[in-house]
Structure 1
């Protein structure tokens, strides 16, 4: 998915999505992360400089010293500190911020290493301690201006590793010119197809908020059980080919991001809801089609992935619905186009008595389909 700069203040955080920068020609003003993480009702976002940015919790519109969440921005331009993401295991390696020979590794200007030490110790500590661990949202540059790609939500630690293995303290440099720095091993976790809710960001920003309310299920699993039970982001399950030509610029690194979450996650979510044809009940999952109610080409980025804009249909009923030969009233009662004669109604097993169950949130999409896709009689 791709979000323009003007959409960022309300955009969801979707894995592998592209968030575009502004066009003012001023890097500080055009930075997409600052706008993306400006939460309604709160005064401060994240900074517009640096590879690690923090957002503070607030009380009555004023920032506090408590961290709400962090944003990791990887440029890949610092050869000595090659942040890497192993998508096969969901492990993200992030280097600390001490590079000064003779300096205590915890005494850095931004206190990045001290902060890493604190959150990793909490991650491997108690449930109450993990509740105070701020999530980390990981982005990397696309190579096209200031555009960024969202890689996922990271938690401190790796399943099967101890605290000291997950947060390695290593010595760098030659004798007489050495210094210590952390190599942090984080795990990118699975999140729901709809992405990270902005309501969760609001809870995190509120000093009295509930950090588990609106949180991804896997984040809650981490808080409850620690790194030992983490389920990493599964590359196989999150990717599918997105052939929509207007979403990707071939000149960018985003070309590689043609493999996207959109259709695959959309289908997976519908299968979890009800793995049968909405009309006839056919349940051979390999044959079921994840059908958009409001078509992909006419939907915005949110509508393309939200499960309320779809249901599963067998191939025949999907084709009839997609081409506008059938639609539904808002109460779920089928409407048949007069262009379908009685013989084809029988062959398609369609009749005026069919009624499906619709969620209230699906009604606006059905209304759109009825007004814009359905083949009315001339």
Structure 2
């Protein structure tokens, strides 16, 4: 962790930057590190909300707000960030003009003509220790393969007193820039982001030609540990616990819930049906996954196994083998569990190359946060199943 001379250091991806230990707002390292104010998720230099007058935008997330599940996919370099509207009213009228800035940024990004000025966007995530932050990367609006109708969308949410409102869900690409030099940050603070000789080439390529080169990282292991498969945050645990408590005495009823969870995770599931309890033969549901569109599509068959287990009870080799042995030629399997796949079973799955998708407790927490939001919304969703 770097906690001294913050106004002089470079930014290195995944490095942690810390401030003082006074237990108050003065602990925030971002004012010294980036020259921005303290507090809130949207911080800026220059005049907001237009991109023409913004010099820099810093987006900070704590990754723990169940209603606004910001996320970073380190494999693809896609960062999902939610705006700052939390109550009914005009989508763009917020105290810090965060949503207005998002609209301006994405409008400019969708214009493929070269612009003389664009504010660099720096991403930081809270570590949970005091007000320390981790540098997540240099980002730009939009994602390769996403249209202008998809990378910035207004999503509906409901307040505790049932008031409905909209907020932005924005998709950014983290660029393949490992280190941001202090000299460029100094030039940005002076209002010269694009003309600076220290600006990263990857960033300039996007500014000039909208050419994206994402920072992608492959996992060192395809086998997830127990802790990686179980939610670590208390709010995430509560989401999975709500599902487990509802179905722990009715595991057969969980099969329909597991199928709906699979559809959230794998949207292109086309058709499906539950098997009868006395005829399942190791398959709780079967269906097809559609590849392609219109008359040129291909439907690939799958079989699903559902296990409503407590988080201390992993799915073992026996249960996994039961699913694998029932897979027919060119079928793939889906295992949905409120727990985790035991290490021995995961090892066998990987070493033998079996085509099985594992949806564990942490996956359930992540997808329900993204698609449903709050615990109350999850409960209402379960009531409808």
TM-score (norm 1): 0.53
> Is the contact made by 2:80 and 2:172 (CA closer than 8 Å) also made in structure 1?
yes
Is the 2:92–2:100 Cα contact (8 Å) retained in structure 1?
yes
The answer (yes or no) to whether the contact 2:57–2:120 under 8 Å persists in 1 is: yes
Indicate which of 208, 212, 220 corresponds to 2:204.
Answer: 220
For 1:100, the equivalent position in structure 2 comes to 87
Alignment of 1:1-378 (within 5 A): 2-3=1-2, 5-23=3-21, 25-37=22-34, 45-56=35-46, 66-101=53-88, 103-129=89-115, 131-173=116-158, 177-192=163-178, 195-207=179-191, 210-211=194-195, 213-226=197-210, 229-236=211-218
How far apart are the structure 1 equivalents of 2:193 and 2:168? 31
**Partner Cα separation in structure 2 for residue 88 and residue 236 of structure 1:** 6
Contact 1:127–1:223 (Cα < 8 Å) also in 2: no
With the length of structure 2 as denominator, give the TM-score of the two structures.
0.52
Distance 1:68 1:16 in 2: 23
**Bigger Rg over Cα:** 1
Task: State how far apart, in whole Å, the 1-side matches of 2:24 and 2:168 are.
Answer: 29
The answer (yes or no) to whether the contact 2:55–2:193 under 8 Å persists in 1 is no
Q: Is the 8 A contact 1:203 1:213 kept in 2?
A: no
Q: What is the count of residue pairs matched by the alignment?
A: 218
CA distance in 2 between partners of 1:9 and 1:142 (Å): 20
Measured after TM superposition, the shift of residue 49 of structure 1 is: 0.5
Secondary structure of 2:54's aligned partner: strand
Q: CA RMSD in A?
A: 2.7
CA gap 1:96/1:10 in 2 versus in 1, 3 angstroms: same
- Are 2:78 and 2:143, in contact at CA under 8 Å, matched by a contact in 1? yes
Query: Any stretches of 5+ residues in structure 2 without a counterpart?
Result: 221-232, 234-385
What is the distance in 2 between the residues matched to 1:55 and 1:209?
Answer: 12
Q: Equivalent residue for 1:333?
A: none
